[in-house]
Structures are given as structure tokens and as C-alpha cells.
Amino acid sequence: MIRFALQKTGLGLLTLWGVATLIFFLFTIVPGDSAQMMLGKREDPEALAAVRAKYGLDQPVHIQYVNYLHRVSPIGWQTGLRFKTPDFGESYQRQGQRVGHLISSTFPNTALLAAVSISFAVLVGMFLGTIAAYYEGTKLDGFLLATSSIGMSLPSFFTAVLFAWIFAFLLGPYTGLNLTGSLFTVDDYTGEQSLSLKNLILPALTLGIRPVGVIVQLTRKSILEVSAKDFVRTARAKGLPERKVLLRHILPVASNPIITTISGWFASLLAGAVFVEIIFGWNGMGKLLVEALNTRDLPITMGCVLVIAFIFVLLTTLVDVLYAWLDPRVRSELF
């Protein structure tokens, strides 16, 4: 089991190295001069040379690549092997601000938004999926399947505009929801910050619509498959109440594919919150990434992409290891 966990960890580190290499060369060969963009319209050769020297842009590409890997790696090797904090560098456009600080100040907002969205999707999706399975073939089952299919097909940016228009613009006087706003609001006169959880409602619902549809159909399918197993028939033959059969025998087994879906969707929501954060004015990492792309702030862009990739790899590795630890069938296939 330890060997399997180490193998998965090594594969994850290899994947992160591949992602870091890809985004470095992708953004390095992009047309345009980052140093020139930092200076704006000024055409001062000395200032341009100073900026390139400061950020190492005057060095050969392979030297920049090695230095970049050393900065973002948790293990340093240039002055001897040692553990260190990954460094994403300094923002090109936000002079004096470290990329790590910018990401750490916005990532919790994105993580909260994704966590609330996936929690909403799991609770609603599993509940509706269970109802659809127990009423298989009825009009209610057909309605839930059709509704979930529509939810899966709606792009997040369209749902965001639709929800903002209906619940914040048309029904705003009744719902009290704002078109835009982040987790904290700042008073224009006093400058004091106050927590505003209601601004979380619309973006969380918007992000949760698509995974709700997926989880409804996946839960329905899994419950129907497990319900046909012999151990479920035996439990029912013993006279156990249907509620206990569902909670003790069906759901624990049917939840395996749902757990995989949840982990993948959570990581996807972290990356897919970009448009939703822009539309609702949510101060998260997605909004930071879009602003960096618009201004060609490469350190921020590369840092955000690496953080998202790290979350994908971490969640995938944890799910694989948990599967092997919890499910004897998986262990028997692996070992």
C-alpha cells in the first residue's frame, strides 16, 4: 500500500513537472515583449535593459527555464539540497507585489466558492438521483432526467448572466441579492470591511448547476445497478426497512463513482470559476487570472495555472489512494 502511494505521488510530481515545463515554454514563445509592456509607451533603451536584467529576461531560454523550475519547486538545489517555499516571482504589472501573496489572498475566496458549489451539488444531486432511481420509469423520473440534462448542457457564463438578470435585477427588491459583490464589502465612507455571505449565493448556485445534473444521473444509475445485486436482495428478504437498505447497503457501494466525480468536479470548479467570478465581481483567483492575461502579467498567469494543476493532481492522487485503501476489490487488482 505504501509502495502504491509512493508510485502515485511520483506520477503526480512528474505530471506537475510536465505542466510547469509546458506553461513556461508556451508563455516564453508568445509574441510580444513583457519588458516593453511593463514600461508602457516609454522607449528608453536603458530602462528596458534594466527591466530585462531585473527579471532575468536577458538570459538564454534554457537558463530562464532552470531558474524558473528552481523557484517554483519546493526543493532547492542551486545552493545544496534543501526544502523551501515555492516562489512564483514578482508581478510584472503590480510593481513590488509577490505573486504568491496575490494568489494566497484570492485563492481562499475561490476555494470557498467551489466548496459551497460542490456541497450544494452533492446534496441536491444525490437526493434527486435517489428519488429518480426509486421512481424509475415514472413521469417524475423522466422530468428529473430531462431537467438534469438541461442543467449539464448550460455553460456557466450563460447561467451566470441568466441568474444575475432574474434573481438580482428583476427580483432584486424581493431577494435582496446584488448583481456584483465579493465576500467582503468595503464601506465607502469609513473604509471598514464587513462579511457579506449573500454575495456567495448566486455564484455558488451558478457553478453548482452543471455538477448537480451529472450527480443526479450518476446517482440514479449507480443505485439501480447496486439494487440488483444479491446482497441487496438478501437484505430486503430479511425484512429490513427500505430506508436502512438504502443507507447501509446501497449508498455506501453506489458512492464510489460519485466520490470520483466529486473530486474531479471540485478541481474543475476551481478552474472554471473564471467567468463566474468576472460576471459577479467575485474577488477570487479566476478574476486575478483573467486580469493577468489581459495585461500579459506572465508570473501571475503561470502561478495561477500551476496552483490549479497542483490541486488537480493532489485530488486525483488522494482519490486513487483512498480507493485502494477502502475498497478490497481495488486492492486485490493492484496487489
Query: Do 74 and 83 form a contact (C-beta atoms < 8 A)?
Result: yes
pLDDT in tens, 192-217: 667 778 888 888 888 888 889 889 98
Number of Cβ within 10 Å of residue 122's Cβ equals 21
CB-based contacts of 91, cutoff 8 Å, min separation 6: 97, 98, 99, 102, 292, 297, 299, 300
More confidently predicted of 40 and 45: 45
pLDDT at 327 over 60: no
pLDDT over 60 (residue 220) = yes
Tell me: pLDDT of 308 over 70.
yes
Q: So what's the pLDDT on residue 331?
A: 56
Residues 99, 299 contacting (CB under 8 angstroms): yes
The predicted model gives 122-148 an average pLDDT of: 90
- Mean pLDDT, all residues of the chain: 81
pLDDT 10s digits, 77-132: 777 777 878 888 888 777 778 888 888 888 888 888 888 998 998 999 999 999 99
pTM for the complete prediction?
0.78
| Three cell numbers, residue 124 | 441536491
pLDDT for the residue numbered 59? 77
**% of the chain residues with pLDDT over 90:** 3
Spatial separation of the C-alpha atoms in residues 65 and 21, rounded to whole Å: 8
Indicate the burial class of 328 (C-beta count within 10 angstroms; 0-12, 13-18, 19 or more).
exposed
Q: What is the mean pLDDT of residues 7-33?
A: 80
What mean pLDDT do residues 31-36 have?
Answer: 64
Q: Give 235's Cβ-side CA count (13 Å radius).
A: 18
pLDDT digits (tens, 9 = 90+) for 288-303: 888 888 877 888 888 8
Cβ atoms of 308 and 292 within 8 Å: the answer is no
User: Going from the N-terminus, what domains does the chain have, and what CATH number goes with each?
Assistant: 108-283 (1.10.3720.10)
Residue 236 has pLDDT above 80, yes or no: yes
Q: What average pLDDT does the segment 233-247 reach? A: 83
- Contact (Cβ atoms closer than 8 angstroms) between residue 196 and residue 239: no
Split at pLDDT 50, 70, 90, the class of 191 is low
In whole angstroms, how far apart are CA 160 and each of 29, 80, 174, 213?
Answer: 34, 50, 19, 16
Stronger pLDDT, 105 or 36, i.e. the higher one: 105
Report pLDDT for 273.
76
Q: How confident is the model at residue 24 (pLDDT cuts 50, 70, 90)?
A: confident
C-alpha grid cell, residue 91: 508581478
| pLDDT surpasses 70 at 37 | no
Is the pLDDT at 19 greater than 70, yes or no? yes
What pLDDT sits at residue 143? 92
From CA 301, how far away is CA 30, in angstroms rounded?
Answer: 13
Give the mean model confidence (pLDDT) for residues 309-324.
Answer: 78
Q: Can you give the pLDDT at residue 287?
A: 85
Q: Extract long-range pairs of 237-245: CB within 8 Å, 24+ residues apart.
A: none
Range picked from 29-43, 189-203, 272-286 for highest mean pLDDT: 272-286
pLDDT of the residue at 82 = 78
pLDDT value for 1? 67
If we measure between CA atoms, which residue out of 106, 128, 164 comes closest to residue 285?
Answer: 106
